Amino acid sequence: MTKIKTKTPNIKDRLPILKDEIEKQIYRIENNVNSKLLQIIYYIFIF
């Protein structure tokens, strides 16, 4: 059986990525840039 290696970066490394994505989505909403009816963006934030 193979072991799967996972990497969970520190919260201080993950939060800027989340912040950038939130700002991007706010911009898209405010400027009506959404081109798809549904868009799923996956981020894994396991604490």
What's the confidence (pLDDT) of residue 23?
94
Provide the token pair at 32: 């009506």
Exposure on the CB side of residue 26, measured as CA atoms within 13 A? 6
What's the confidence (pLDDT) of residue 20?
92
Instruction: Give the predicted TM-score (pTM) of the model.
Output: 0.57
Distance CA(46)–CA(24), nearest Å, equals 22
Distance of CA 36 to the CA centre of its chain: 17
Provide the token pair at 7: 């990497």
Query: Hey, where are the domains in the chain?
Result: 1-47
Tell me: the pLDDT tens digits for 3-40? Answer: 555 566 687 888 888 899 899 988 988 898 877 766 77
Q: Name the 3-class secondary structure at 25.
A: helix
In degrees and rounded to multiples of 5, residue 28 shows phi and psi of -60, -40
